[in-house]
Structure 1
Amino acid sequence: MTMRQPIPATRRLSLLLGPNVVAEKLWLEFFSDPSQWWDHSIEKVSSRYPDFKHKKTQKALWILDKRNPPWVDAKLAAMAPGTVQLSIFSWNAILAKYVKAGQYEKTMELFHQLQQKGIVLNRSSFVPVLKACANLFALEEGKKIHSQVVESGCESDVYVGSTLVHMYAKCGSIEDARNVFDRMPTRDVVTWNAMIRGYAKCGQGWEALKLFRQMQDEAMQPDSVTFMGLLNACASVAALDEGKYVHKQIIEGGLEGDVFLGSSLVDMYAKCGSIKDAWSVFNKMHTRDVVAWSALILGYLKCGQGQKALEIYQQMQHEAVQPDTITFIGVINACASVMALEEGRRVHEQIKQCGSECNIFVASSLVDMYAKCGSIEDAWKLFNSMATHDVVSWNAMILGFVKCGKAQKALDLFREMQREGVQPVAVTFIGVLNACSDLRALEEGRRIHTQVVQSGCESDSFVSNSLVDMYSKCGSIEDAQRVFEMMPTHDVVSWNAMILGYVRCGKGRRALELYQQMQSEGVDPDHVTFVRVVNACASIMALNEGRRIHEQIVQNGFESDVIVGNSLVDMYAKCGNMETAQSVFQRMPTHNVFAWNAMILGYFKCGQGKIALEVYQQMQQEGVQPDSVTFVGVLNACASVMALEEGRRIHERIIQSGCESDAFVRKSLKDMYAKCGSIHNVHKLSNRMPK
């Protein structure tokens, strides 16, 4: 292969200018003496007049003309400032270059300088500066420029109008965008796209879809940008059927192979909860960018399939697709959802290698993941290493401390957060109210309630439910009732909190009345409701009400729920109906220690201590580990039937399990030995008991 020889400078000049020898000579004169070449005696500078022209040929030339050869641009750039007065054409070109380079502040500065110089602006001046306002979210500045656009008579220009619509929509003023849109005499596809995407961005997806139908009625042909806006609109309002219609339009338009539309389709189906369709589109894509992978990962996460999201991430790595911050946030949240601590640590290492750990959203997600996975030390270490903290990272640490039983630390962190000037949100209040519940810190809870009211978060149903729960757990059922009554609507969680509050304060009858009121208001009970009303029946020995609620439990399909089953066994046992308790117990798919305890204590209470011991033996045969409540029950059973040897064997088991230090167990041991006549063991235990 022959190497190409470099073209001489004079030959390159000839190629650029053509065979005209005269023209070539004139250009060469410019290099020898520019002052002899141009004439800048032009009085009026506008887009119709050049920056300068050749004295001999009167050839027009603009400083920033795309037709200029590169070497001409270089020579002009080297001229001393102020040598040439620029035309509006060149000023507009500079404005456009600033915007294209992302130098939005510089664009605005130059625009203001042009105004101060009194240069008459045109449509090509307004377009770049409006784009700069959009990217700076400078709504007020954009409105001032809009007034100048109107004065100049450029508002009717379709290009200027489209840019105004885009600016208003991006700045969040969708009403102003629509006003401009409606006044435009003609609209191109760019205008429609700006309006559709504006509605989608502002969360008004249905308006975007309505506008698309109007666009079709006016016979305007959509393009790929239109469809991307529509898919975002469908995703924002979970409009699956409309999304499928848009998908059909994309196929009919022959645009299904567009990688950006493919990614948007995956995102739309995932956000609409149709993960099967998302996966189908993803599999058909010839090329998949990081947006498509991230959308699929987040889709599986949203559908509660965290493990599948991690598998998709592993496949993405296998195909050597570089993750971005959105990917990392999705994968970290997936690790948190399935408590995959080790996988989360590996992802953290990858984040460090990519240099994304300094991203505040990624770092906050990592703090949340470590906290949810129970590694509060790692969460705290990372939290302290962060340069700045947003409300998400504060919330992650507060909720993490509450979850791991460090409620006081959560409250201390809440105070520190406020000292640093970070405003709490609804999630923050839920965390600290739960901390108050755990600590039974009523006065602290009341102070936080005041802050909730001041912040306007009291209308949030989750915060109100947390307030009801906090007051009821702290024993202030009157405050709980007041909060409950001020709530505009009550969901099942708020009813459950109130019912539990009355059960805890020994007002089982009131709890059952509340349950009846809940049903009359058309709120369907869940398994938590049934557990609490069954406990209410147990607390007041309301066997008949318990039977009626049992029937409702069967009708709603909750009898197989282990916790509901435990509550039923306990209720029937406490009401003295051991036959039904035994029947429910036998129908349960699995038995945990709570169910066994209910049976043992029930038989003991009914004076059938021997059967209680038989149940205990059966429990051991099934490999269920007893707890302190079990030991109290079987020791009382031993005492009731004078089973000293069985009591001694149980005592040995208590020592092995480490429960001997429990005050109730020790008291039951003393009672058992005393009733069985073993005074020596009673004295022995008394001597070992702490003062």
Structure 2
Amino acid sequence: MESRPLSHRDSSVFETTMHRSRLSGTCKRLLLDVPSAFRGRRNLAALALEQPGFDGTSAEEFLEGRFLSLLRGCSRPCDLNRGRQVHAQVVVNGIGDLGPLETRVLGMYVLCGSFTDAKDVFFRVDKRVSLPWNWMIRCFAMIGWFESALLLYLKMFFCDVVPDKYTFPYVIKACCGLRALELGSLFHGTISSMGLEADPFVGSSLIKMYTENNLIDHARRVFDRVPEKDCVLWNVMIDGYAQNGDLREVLVLFNSMRSSEVRPNFVSFACVLSICALEAQVRCGAQFHGLTVRYGLDFESSVANTLLAMYSKCRCWSDMTKLFHMMPRADLIAWNVMISGYVQNGFGKEAVNSLYKMQLAGVRPDSVTLASILPSISDSAGLKQGKEIHAYIVRNDVNLDAFLKSALIDMYFKCRNVELAYKIFDGTGTMDVVICSAMISGYVLHGMSGDALNIFRQLINAQMKPNAITLASILPACSSLVALRLGKELHCYALKNRFEGRCYVGSSLTDMYAKCGRLDHAHYMFENMPEKDAVAWNSMIASFTQNGQPEEAVNLFRQMGVEGVNYDCVTVSSTLSACANLPAIHHGREIHGFMMKGALRSDMVAESALIDMYAKCGNLVVARCVFDTMEVKNEVSWNSIIAAYGSHGHLKEAMGLFQEMMVSGFQPDHITFLTMISSCGHAGEVEQGFQYFHRMRDEFGIKARMEHYACMVD
């Protein structure tokens, strides 16, 4: 490092820095006199002899100790300039060749994040010991240059330098970063042969490597071999079980930790509470909440935010709100948890109100906040609000990361504005798997399967690897286009990458095979799924219904209840469609009775399916009664009742309902017009059908689809 004489400005900055630091009085006096010594051209060693703390050792050793103390205080990026000043004084006074001091300078640059300075110092230090190598391996691992970290470790071997317990944690971290489990296991063998496996620092890194690769048994063996476990080691092991969703082992291990001499800290509680939130174990979570109060950690930021997430996940709104208001000062993460919780549970209005309150409290929304609230806007009525949020993002220069872009794209698609969604995608500049998945999903939602496949091809051509969500998004496009061959290729890709075990991928594959006419393959996929959630059951029930096997759909509905899987509105609507196709009004009435007893009595999707079922079973009066008693109606409800009257030949009533729908503020969609054109066909009113066809294109700007043309021809 090139040195220069200190100016008056340097002197004042240096003095200010010293006064703000927490150094000992002797060190401050010594270093505060450095600038004046240089101005008077005095020797720093001579100045050391005048210090009250001088004990007769050499002036060089005395200064080395003082500089070491100063360098240890420089451990953050904001300390870099101060560290450089200290390094300059070390060089100018000719004491930079001392081993501990020059290695400490190297460590200071690594901790302050200055790779260039660290590299320059590393080339000049004595490399016959492991410490300089350890610092540089750590530096490479910190900046994500994992291959360089491993190469430096190998070079360390070639230089006959023996690694120690401080070398391996960052070597293992590099293996994790490269997902090189086999190489990490090889290093584990080296660690065992050197007798370092029992070290808590090394053990923690090995446990983390194994848990990240779902080898929890290997991690537990390492954990059990460490005789003296510190808090970090316990936390890493608890977190490993939490990531694997093993609540029982998390609780057992946490209790063992409490029984030991190690006191749980805020990280311990955050790990345990996160698994309680994931498993929706509110009773268990509430008990841990009591423990956090006992340990005085309940308002520690990470603990309080995890508690908020747990209560939100378990739908304990009063507890969540009470805790939030009790927090001394809600930080950005706390607000994000509140907003995300409201959105995920369907409380869009409360989420928007929280956004306004957040800004009034002086907390500025970030990309996570806005990406969390955008999913609450899910129809054309919310388009204006969605544009306002988009304008806020642009005006306040919010970081437009991949997740926020995909949330904006998803919002515009749901609000039926395909053009704006594509503009955001086109303005991205670089290809990203998350953004492409959002575009694919949006195009599929709008029936634009060809465009979805084009985006998928762009993703492949950019040599990017589709993830499980991308796969689940593109498979419905194969279903729509009856592209069985492509669907099979994607199935092979899922098998190769071990995606088929995920519920949403399995459900998409089941649906694809069923819609491509291979119900046997669909049923085989369903039966061999390791875990079946409500979506998987719904997909199979709908497949049986759509492929002319309504009896199997009803049987599967009963089996779903026997296995303890909760019905939702999609389950009920698919089974009601099966009852309509049988027709079996007695089964439909049983389901109607079940709906009236539970939470689905006022669900719009289920009630719309009821209207369709009663109409197809010939009971138009009850269908109208269900429609009239609906508390809230949407486009689907109106389409169902219009179709009911149209299919029974009551064109006049269907036309009247069409007008009522528009007066009520609902815009007709392509299904509404298909229903009206079909109703005109049933009534023999061909001219009236032509009028609706032209109105659809000219007045409402809805592009005619194949089914519209087929209906016109018919």
Are the counterparts in 2 of residues 568 and 584 from structure 1 also a CA contact under 8 Å?
A: no
How far residue 123 of structure 1 moved from its aligned partner, in angstroms, is 3.4
Give the 3-state SS of the residue equivalent to 1:491 in structure 2.
helix
Out of 543, 546, 552, which is 1:500 matched to? 546
How far residue 599 of structure 1 moved from its aligned partner, in angstroms, is 5.2
Q: Does 1:382 align with 2:421?
A: no
Q: Does 1:161 align with 2:200?
A: no
Alpha-carbon deviations, 1:457-495, whole Å to 9, x = none?
Answer: 666665665566667667x4xx33552355307724422
Q: Does 1:399 align with 2:452?
A: no
Relative distance call for 1:62 and 1:365 in structure 2 (3 A) is same
Partners of 1:617 and 1:367 lie apart in 2 by: 36
Alpha-carbon deviations, 1:356-415, whole Å to 9, x = none?
Answer: 656333333332232222221122122122233333322221222232343332333334
Are the counterparts in 2 of residues 469 and 501 from structure 1 also a CA contact under 8 Å?
A: no
Structure 2 residue ranges without an equivalent (≥5): 1-11, 17-31, 65-97, 109-117, 697-711
* Equivalence map 1:595-634=2 (5 Å): 595=641, 598=644, 602=648
Partners of 1:636 and 1:337 lie apart in 2 by: 32
* Cross-structure match for 1:147: 189
How far residue 582 of structure 1 moved from its aligned partner, in angstroms, is 7.9
Alpha-carbon deviations, 1:137-190, whole Å to 9, x = none?
Answer: 654554444434333333333444344434544566543332221111221222
Out of 567, 591, 601, which is 2:612 matched to? 567
* Cross-structure match for 1:228: 270
Alpha-carbon deviations, 1:544-570, whole Å to 9, x = none?
Answer: x43563355235427876424533552
Partners of 2:212 and 2:259 lie apart in 1 by: 26
How far residue 498 of structure 1 moved from its aligned partner, in angstroms, is 1.5
Relative distance call for 1:660 and 1:351 in structure 2 (3 A) is closer
Alpha-carbon deviations, 1:597-626, whole Å to 9, x = none?
Answer: 64587587xxxxxxx979988998997999
Q: TM-score scaled by structure 1?
A: 0.68
Partners of 2:140 and 2:682 lie apart in 1 by: 84
Partners of 2:228 and 2:265 lie apart in 1 by: 18
* Cross-structure match for 2:100: 62
Which amino acid in the other structure matches residue 499 of structure 1?
T
* Cross-structure match for 1:480: 519
How far residue 252 of structure 1 moved from its aligned partner, in angstroms, is 0.3
* Equivalence map 1:424-573=2 (5 Å): 424=466, 427-428=469-470, 431-435=473-477, 438=480, 441-442=481-482, 444-456=483-495, 476=517, 479-484=518-523, 487-488=526-527, 491-502=537-548, 511-512=550-551, 514-516=553-555, 518-519=557-558, 522=561, 526-537=571-582, 545-547=584-586, 549-557=588-596, 562-567=607-612, 569-571=614-616
Which amino acid in the other structure matches residue 615 of structure 2?
D
Deviates more, 1:331-340 or 1:389-398: 331-340
Partners of 2:295 and 2:197 lie apart in 1 by: 32
Alpha-carbon deviations, 1:82-123, whole Å to 9, x = none?
Answer: 997467485378459747975765665554444333234443
Are the counterparts in 2 of residues 339 and 372 from structure 1 also a CA contact under 8 Å?
A: no
Are the counterparts in 2 of residues 238 and 272 from structure 1 also a CA contact under 8 Å?
A: yes
* Cross-structure match for 1:410: 452
Partners of 2:134 and 2:658 lie apart in 1 by: 85
* Cross-structure match for 2:260: 218
Relative distance call for 1:123 and 1:536 in structure 2 (3 A) is closer
Which amino acid in the other structure matches residue 451 of structure 1?
L
How far residue 531 of structure 1 moved from its aligned partner, in angstroms, is 3.7
Relative distance call for 1:248 and 1:380 in structure 2 (3 A) is same
Partners of 2:206 and 2:492 lie apart in 1 by: 40
- What do you get for the CA RMSD once the two structures are aligned? 5.1
Relative distance call for 1:498 and 1:220 in structure 2 (3 A) is same
Deviates more, 1:353-362 or 1:246-255: 353-362
Partners of 2:611 and 2:121 lie apart in 1 by: 90
Are the counterparts in 2 of residues 496 and 528 from structure 1 also a CA contact under 8 Å?
A: no
Partners of 1:621 and 1:146 lie apart in 2 by: 73
How far residue 662 of structure 1 moved from its aligned partner, in angstroms, is 9.8
Alpha-carbon deviations, 1:231-264, whole Å to 9, x = none?
Answer: 2333343333332222211110112232232223
Relative distance call for 1:27 and 1:454 in structure 2 (3 A) is closer
Out of 126, 132, 135, which is 1:91 matched to? 132
Partners of 1:407 and 1:130 lie apart in 2 by: 44
Which amino acid in the other structure matches residue 532 of structure 1?
S
Are the counterparts in 2 of residues 530 and 553 from structure 1 also a CA contact under 8 Å?
A: no
Which amino acid in the other structure matches residue 276 of structure 2?
C
* Cross-structure match for 1:266: 308
* Cross-structure match for 1:241: 283
Are the counterparts in 1 of residues 579 and 587 from structure 2 also a CA contact under 8 Å?
A: no
Partners of 1:264 and 1:559 lie apart in 2 by: 34
Identity over aligned residues, as a percent?
25
Q: TM-score scaled by structure 2?
A: 0.66
* Cross-structure match for 2:72: none
Which amino acid in the other structure matches residue 515 of structure 1?
V
Partners of 2:180 and 2:173 lie apart in 1 by: 10
Q: Does 1:329 align with 2:375?
A: no
Are the counterparts in 2 of residues 569 and 582 from structure 1 also a CA contact under 8 Å?
A: no
Relative distance call for 1:448 and 1:166 in structure 2 (3 A) is closer
Give the 3-state SS of the residue equivalent to 1:288 in structure 2.
coil
* Cross-structure match for 1:644: none
* Equivalence map 1:312-391=2 (5 Å): 312-336=354-378, 340-352=382-394, 359-391=401-433
Partners of 1:618 and 1:335 lie apart in 2 by: 27
How far residue 321 of structure 1 moved from its aligned partner, in angstroms, is 2.6
Are the counterparts in 2 of residues 13 and 24 from structure 1 also a CA contact under 8 Å?
A: no
* Equivalence map 1:299-318=2 (5 Å): 299-318=341-360
Are the counterparts in 1 of residues 342 and 348 from structure 2 also a CA contact under 8 Å?
A: yes
Which amino acid in the other structure matches residue 495 of structure 1?
I
Are the counterparts in 2 of residues 401 and 410 from structure 1 also a CA contact under 8 Å?
A: yes
Out of 309, 313, 333, which is 1:291 matched to? 333
* Cross-structure match for 1:44: none
* Cross-structure match for 1:675: none
How far residue 192 of structure 1 moved from its aligned partner, in angstroms, is 1.0
How far residue 337 of structure 1 moved from its aligned partner, in angstroms, is 7.9
Partners of 1:171 and 1:16 lie apart in 2 by: 55
Partners of 1:340 and 1:125 lie apart in 2 by: 55
Relative distance call for 1:92 and 1:229 in structure 2 (3 A) is farther
Are the counterparts in 1 of residues 410 and 442 from structure 2 also a CA contact under 8 Å?
A: yes
Which entry has the higher C-alpha Rg, 1 or 2? 1
Relative distance call for 1:176 and 1:183 in structure 2 (3 A) is same
Are the counterparts in 2 of residues 206 and 237 from structure 1 also a CA contact under 8 Å?
A: no
Structure 1 residue ranges without an equivalent (≥5): 32-59, 71-76, 503-509, 539-544, 605-611, 640-646, 664-688
Partners of 2:553 and 2:522 lie apart in 1 by: 15
Give the 3-state SS of the residue equivalent to 1:63 in structure 2.
helix
Partners of 1:562 and 1:28 lie apart in 2 by: 85
Which amino acid in the other structure matches residue 320 of structure 2?
A
